[in-house]
Chains A and B, each alone.
Chain A
Amino acid sequence: MTRNIVGEHREVGDENRYTTLNLGPTHPATHGIFQNVLTMDGEVIVRSEPTIGYIHRAFEKLAERRPYAQITPITDRLNYCSAPINNMGWHMTVEKLIGVEVPKRVDYLRVIIMELARISDHLICNSVLGVDTGALTGFVYLFQFRELIYEIYEEICGARLTTNIGRIGGFERDFSPTAWAKLDRFMKEYPEALKEFEKLLKRNRIFMERTTGVGAITAERALSYSFSGPNLRATGIDYDVRVMEPYSSYDDFEFDVPVGKNGDTYDRFLVRQEEMWQSLSIIRQAIEKLPEGPYHAEVPEFYLPPKEEVYNNMEALIYHFKIVMGETDIPKGEVYHCVEGGNGELGFYLISDGGRTPFRLHFRRPCFIYYQAYPEMIQGSNISDAILTMSSLNVIAGELDA
């Protein structure tokens, strides 16, 4: 419910009484480069006009010039809080195009990585929401676990933030014993920390009063704005790509899709909080049921051969050359594949004309789509509430601007 105070004591349209306030582009409270030109009636926002594109990097154009394997690093930079989900989504899109079935073990390893990424994404969003309401403690407390997640990535792929993790067809290497040990440690220590974090905020009176009813949107409007992910689920709609169109063997796991009721900041917080618990449960199931087998599919045209084979084996050398130079034949086709990203339905709409690069690649970026509802959501609220609303929507500049 937006608090519509405008017009109660003043004539709407009396423009001379309004102040224009420029929030951003660089403002410490917006966690990224966003500009909002606010028209203020005293402390109340009458109108706001967002300007975006400050970190636009022309990814869709770049992708038209790059061989398929080289597009993975571009996807890292969309939602950089959960880069592995973007990487996996892209690999699965290409696999769908070329018709590769990956081994079960790859699916499970991917699920583990994707759920870790989801946790790190939600963890940042929720703990920063705490910071914006004035509770720094929870943030610094949870942040060390993001560090632990990054260490797990590092063990698997060598990178931390922009991961470029996995390959078309599977993983570059199996998880190392150190990676499993770190994952174990995370699974042991994180639930306790998360529980404490919840104790700190979930029924905290100050936190609840700051977030309940703030930046609310109805289910109907959210659907009209094509919301997805936790922000849509907070309004009560249980749309989750993992359940609706299971990919990467998500149908093997038992998990709930938490939904909210009011679509406000507090509900978004609760939904993300519960999703972290569900993610933990999915990871636990994946570790328990993890099948033995190869960690990549047999697709020599797309999956780089091991280096020692390149030096000693003619076929491997040819494939290595073809992959690196982007000379592999790709079928023509038009594919849409989507995954449940940290912020919702992350889609890859790929058109291949058989050339070395995509003919057209469009990213469905959930942030870009739902951020347009922001002016409507903050109309009639205070600046401090607008900051919370933005924070709880988890708008990531990289994904917004592509």
Chain B
Amino acid sequence: MEPAQHPTLTLLTERFGDNILSADIRYGILTISVTQPAIVDILRFLFDHAQLQYRYLTTLCGIHHPEVNQIAVVYQLHSLENNSRVRLKVWLPEDKPETPTVTDLFAGANWMERETYDFFGVTFTGHPDLRRILNVEDMTIFPLRKEYPLEDQTREDKRDEMFGRGMVGSGQ
């Protein structure tokens, strides 16, 4: 199916035409990039719409794209009524990623947003309790960002190129 024929996209375009940056179907799931200010309205629209009923938040997570200096926050919604899924992305600037919370809409977004904050440093404004969740509280970095390599790069007692290590972002 072409993305343009997807009923969800048709309804969204009707209402939020200007706020939709791109849309395509990736391995069966409609993936839409939307502008940041509209995200909560769009989620609420998808939630409340009598026909669509996207009321189940499957995942909420972050992705760091260093090549464009942006962090994407991904919302995957599931309409249990129609058994259809949709994936929404908002792109935030790497140096000050900030977007409103969706905890009012989905109680389950609470920890998912805390996890995204913990690993990517995304600030969810209006979140009731935005603290680190899996990492220690006095950590100063956001470890899933690409600038933090997995191994201790300061070690000099091994030649990393021999082990395929030390090439941050290699092939990425």
**A209: min CB distance to chain B, Å:** 30
Stretch at the interface among B8-16, B35-43, B52-60, B91-99: B52-60
Bound Cα distance A268, B108 (Å): 20
**A36: min CB distance to chain B, Å:** 14
Q: How large is the interface on B (under 10, 10 to 19, 20 to 34, 35 or more residues)?
A: 35 or more
A226 partner residues in chain B, CB cutoff 8 A: 56-58, 106, 108
Q: Is the CB of A53 within 8 A of B150?
A: no
Q: Is the CB of A349 within 8 A of B133?
A: no
Q: Does residue A384 face the partner (Cβ distance < 8 Å to B)?
A: no
Q: Does residue A353 face the partner (Cβ distance < 8 Å to B)?
A: yes
Q: Is the CB of B61 within 8 A of A53?
A: no
Looking across the interface, which residue of chain A has its beta carbon closest to that of B149?
A65
Known: A225-B107, A349-B76, A369-B108. A336 touches B119 (CB 8 A): no
A221 partner residues in chain B, CB cutoff 8 A: 107
Bound Cα distance A308, B133 (Å): 49
Known: A60-B144, A226-B106, A360-B63. A53 touches B134 (CB 8 A): yes
Q: How large is the interface on A (under 10, 10 to 19, 20 to 34, 35 or more residues)?
A: 35 or more
**B10: min CB distance to chain A, Å:** 22
Looking across the interface, which residue of chain B has its beta carbon closest to that of A370?
B108
Bound Cα distance A223, B144 (Å): 29
A interface list, Cβ under 8 A from B: 52-53, 56, 58, 60-62, 64-65, 96-97, 221, 223-227, 237, 239, 244-245, 325-326, 333-336, 338, 345, 347, 349, 351, 353-357, 359-360, 362, 364, 368-373, 401-402
Q: List 30 A-B contacts (CB under 8 A).
A: A53-B133, A58-B143, A60-B144, A62-B150, A65-B165, A97-B27, A223-B56, A223-B80, A224-B107, A226-B108, A237-B80, A244-B83, A245-B83, A333-B26, A334-B31, A335-B26, A336-B87, A347-B58, A347-B59, A349-B61, A351-B63, A354-B171, A355-B171, A356-B171, A357-B172, A359-B63, A359-B172, A364-B58, A368-B115, A369-B111
Nearest 3 Cβ contacts at the A-B interface: A355-B171, A226-B108, A53-B134
What 7 additional pairs, Cβ within 8 angstroms, besides A56-B134, A372-B111? A53-B135, A223-B80, A338-B58, A349-B61, A355-B172, A359-B63, A362-B61
